[in-house]
Structure 1
Amino acid sequence: MSAQGTILVLDGTSTNRIMLKVQLTAAWYHVVQGERLQGLAGLLRRSKPDLVLTSQSLPDGTAADVKKLVMANPDLIDVPVVAIAPQNDRAARIKALSEGLDDVLAYPFKDTFLLARVRSLLRARAETQDLQIDSSSHPIGFAEPSAAPILPAAAARVAVLTQEPRTGALWQSVLSKQTQYSLSAHTPSNLQGVLSGPVPDAILFEVSENPSGLNLLADLKSRGFTRHTVLIGILQDGNSELASEALDRGADAICMAGFCPEETFLRLKNQIARKNRRDQMRASLRRGVVDSWVDPLTGLHNRRYAMRAMDQIASQPAQVGRGLAVMLADLDHFKAINDTFGHSAGDYVLAEAATRMAKIVGSAGFIARIGGEEFMIGLSNTTQANALELARNLCGCIRENPFALPDTSEPISVTVSIGLMITHPTGSSQSPQRARLEGLIKSADSALYAAKTGGRDQVQLQQSAA
């Protein structure tokens, strides 16, 4: 999205285009104009709009055709396309929404309402863009495509929120005949019923001039519980000022002409579908974050996480007599296990050893697999005695219980060697510097080498004063 915000205005009537340009440029948006479908694909590529406002009917096509062209460009798949329809043309609104347009505005509209809707749509796109993954430069752990289609809305929970119980009951009854959504009716006085149950996918609310209603709207949008819930307002009297206020408070869409079951259902369907897509993108990002820090074989953290964690531990102050402990643990004769029993057996040993050692480390620090059969353990604010005891317990948990491989009749014995490096700050305000972290790990590696050459299945200690 451009810093200024680029809006493409499409209309076959020049006066309409000029009027919209005046309204939008006065609000510091960059406006690009077009009048027909011919050449639109190229115009879209050149202008890269953040929003498209199009007349429902163009000289050589319709708003639905514009939507299809926008969706055909992977870089613009999340650009909202809004149809502009004649005033009080209910059939035109229904048609546009049924064809997948993101919204419908009816001529004439006040500047305040137009700009409020533009702000709302651009906020929604910005949220989606924040979740997008650039397919040309995937970070580690993020390898999913950036552009996924908007999926059909699955079964969803919809809360109906009205001032009077009778109104809510009526809306719930009428909508239940058109949709399979799970519908529940509430009033502001029993809002706890919304907040204490499962998170609703959408809240259909009555917009009134009562300030408490608008405050409630802002409150719902700010709560972690309902922050991603779709909020659709029903406005009975077409008050554009009130509609603008609702949009700026967080409404995702407004039905300007009162409760129309067909229009309300279409808005719910379209908005919930977009919510589903954003939810999937958030889940994908969360999985990507987890995958980027986790070793898939053992379930432990990986080297990337270990280095970040060590950097954080090294920057923390320690109490007098306590310090930072770095351990490098390496399974002994691991190559022989792979050569004798196969790599699947080796993987089993790695996974089992990781489980055992993670149980020993517990919440005292972190353990990560940093490569092959090597593990790193980090402890902060610990004593030499405690670090040595934990290291010896790690050796014991591997040695004392032979590993029962899936395809072998007899369990095999496995041991581990550990190099331990511990620093001893001289005062509570001192801590190891980040620049020394690599040296600390090298010292632990030297201690590990000493444990290997000294006979394996043991702990070797190096220590340093900070």
Structure 2
Amino acid sequence: MTARILVVDDNEINLRLLEARLGAEFYEVVLAVNGPEALALAATGGIDLVLLDVMMPGMDGYEVCRRLKADPQTTHIPVVLVTALDQPSDRIEGLNAGADDFLTKPARDLQLFTRVRSLTRLKRVTDELRERTATALALFADEEDVFRAASGRDRILMFGDDPREATRLLAMLHDRFVIDATAERGAFMAQLMEGPEPEAALLDLGAAEGSALRLVAALRTSDAGRHLPIIAMGRPEQEAALAKALEIGATDYILKPIDRNELRARLATQVRRRRYESRLRRSLTDTVALAVRDPLTGLHNRRFCEARLAKAIDQARAGRRHLSIAVADIDHFKRINDSRGHAAGDEVLRQFASRLQDALRGSDLACRIGGEEFVVLMPDTDGEDALRVAERVRERMAAAPFALPGGDIAVTVSAGLAIYADGDDAASLLSRADRSLYEAKRTGRNRVLALAA
């Protein structure tokens, strides 16, 4: 799959060379000659990766990178610094500025395109999450904890069979990370499932032939390791294996001999990205929950009730199984709102929902379908059992007053039952339950009635 890449360099020759190399691989290329122009183009959207020179007049690449990563609208765009600077301190400064990688000019095709493919693949995953949580994202986009660098001592899993290398890495990271190291793939996967959730994994490609690569593949096919950042460690002569690691799912790599500050910077970048994506996933889960749940009571809402009722009727019809529903309505609820206020009414609804859940069986489903009206779905339940359940609900409401700040209040409920019969659909079943509820209200309230089909 192609991607749209922003190339930033004040040298026209460098721009055209990268444009030609990327174009030959069918990437769409956008060009910028300075930092402000790059920031403006990135802000317009649609950029999948930024290849950024460091040494530019006015605003250098480090500052451009810092600004991209500080902006909630562009923080998710991968940035690779491509520069003639080749000192470890330059690379570390770039990583600390938020860059996802640092390539020294002239970057060879294997180095360049391996990183481009890996980072654009990660960007597509993030884009999908952002698109699906667009509304919720707007609510937390300015919260500092989403974007700031990792802090505290996070758990890192390490795999490798060189004890001296493991000892060196432990010494490098012990003050910032809790390290669990092992030389066995089975033990590594066991550690993944035990204890606090790890923030990243370090895999040594120098371990027994192919074992680290097989572990990358295993992680990416397991639920626990699917989203875990993976940093592969290898020597320069293992370039092909490093490229393969990125291809099959590693998120970054570092060359040996390992520089302490570079490793810490790369880990911080991966942890920061993981936290950002985890927040997006939590937001997606919350958004889905909001779509099917009533925010006041926590019960399922009308939309979910209608979908679940239709499915329950199909199952009852296909398997000739029992199905009953109850429509319940709080008696004189308008009086509560009028005399005690809407805040008191909301508290009654919350307490009502809690008592309702306590009175139901595990197989029953309670939904709030509007105002003070509730529906209870009772699969595999005949009329006699449904009446017992509904009566238990009624008794639970009337048994004790509802506690409110301005004084306790007595609350009762009326309910209408309907039992599935051949030929029923959702509309006919709900209509019959509604008629039963109306009759219960008409004949005195605080009762449960079931009209014949």
Could you state the TM-score of these two structures normalised by the residue count of structure 2? 0.88
Matches of 1:123 and 1:239 in 2, distance apart?
23
Determine helix, strand or coil for the equivalent of 1:402.
coil
Write the mapping of 1:295-314 to structure 2, written as runs, cut at 5 A: 295-314=294-313
Matches of 1:72 and 1:153 in 2, distance apart?
14
Determine helix, strand or coil for the equivalent of 2:120.
helix
Query: Deviation at 1:319?
Result: 6.3
Quick check: 2:159–2:212 contact (8 Å CA) kept in 1?
Answer: no
Matches of 2:221 and 2:375 in 1, distance apart?
41
Matches of 1:310 and 1:164 in 2, distance apart?
60
Paired residue type of 1:329: A
The alignment status of 1:437 with 2:437, answered yes or no, reads no
Matches of 2:445 and 2:371 in 1, distance apart?
17
Paired residue type of 2:129: L
Query: Deviation at 1:365?
Result: 2.0
Quick check: 2:52–2:82 contact (8 Å CA) kept in 1?
Answer: yes
Determine helix, strand or coil for the equivalent of 2:31.
strand
Instruction: Provide Cα deviations, 1:155-200, integer angstroms capped at 9, x if missing partner.
Output: 2111222222222122101222xx4222232223542344433221
Matches of 1:175 and 1:224 in 2, distance apart?
27
Q: Is the helix fraction higher in 1 or 2?
A: 2
Write the mapping of 1:212-291 to structure 2, written as runs, cut at 5 A: 212-291=211-290
Pick closer, same or farther for the CA change 1:420–1:133 going to 2, 3 Å.
same
Query: Deviation at 1:88?
Result: 4.7
Matches of 1:423 and 1:143 in 2, distance apart?
45
Determine helix, strand or coil for the equivalent of 1:369.
strand
Paired residue type of 2:368: R
Query: Deviation at 1:240?
Result: 2.4
Structure 2: where are the runs of 5+ without partners?
A: none
Matches of 2:449 and 2:197 in 1, distance apart?
54
Alignment-derived partner of residue 123 in structure 1: 121
Paired residue type of 1:154: S
Query: Deviation at 1:44?
Result: 3.4
Matches of 2:429 and 2:348 in 1, distance apart?
28
Write the mapping of 1:131-150 to structure 2, written as runs, cut at 5 A: 131-132=129-130, 138=135, 144-145=139-140, 150=147
Pick closer, same or farther for the CA change 1:238–1:98 going to 2, 3 Å.
farther
Quick check: 2:363–2:378 contact (8 Å CA) kept in 1?
Answer: yes
Pick closer, same or farther for the CA change 1:373–1:339 going to 2, 3 Å.
same
Matches of 2:413 and 2:90 in 1, distance apart?
74
Determine helix, strand or coil for the equivalent of 1:112.
helix
Alignment-derived partner of residue 53 in structure 2: 55
Segment drifting more, 313-322 vs 283-292: 313-322
Query: Deviation at 1:408?
Result: 6.9
Pick closer, same or farther for the CA change 1:413–1:76 going to 2, 3 Å.
closer
Alignment-derived partner of residue 152 in structure 1: 149
Pick closer, same or farther for the CA change 1:327–1:87 going to 2, 3 Å.
same
Instruction: Give the number of aligned pairs.
Output: 447
Write the mapping of 1:165-244 to structure 2, written as runs, cut at 5 A: 165-176=163-174, 179-188=175-184, 190-191=187-188, 192-208=190-206, 210-244=209-243
Segment drifting more, 84-93 vs 376-385: 84-93
Pick closer, same or farther for the CA change 1:375–1:19 going to 2, 3 Å.
same
Quick check: 2:301–2:369 contact (8 Å CA) kept in 1?
Answer: yes
Q: 2:94 is matched with which residue: 93, 96, 113?
A: 96
Matches of 1:143 and 1:76 in 2, distance apart?
13
Quick check: 1:113–1:241 contact (8 Å CA) kept in 2?
Answer: no
Query: Deviation at 1:34?
Result: 2.6
Matches of 2:352 and 2:44 in 1, distance apart?
57
Alignment-derived partner of residue 358 in structure 1: 357
Quick check: 1:369–1:375 contact (8 Å CA) kept in 2?
Answer: yes
Quick check: 2:36–2:59 contact (8 Å CA) kept in 1?
Answer: no
Could you state the TM-score of these two structures normalised by the residue count of structure 1? 0.86
Pick closer, same or farther for the CA change 1:446–1:212 going to 2, 3 Å.
same
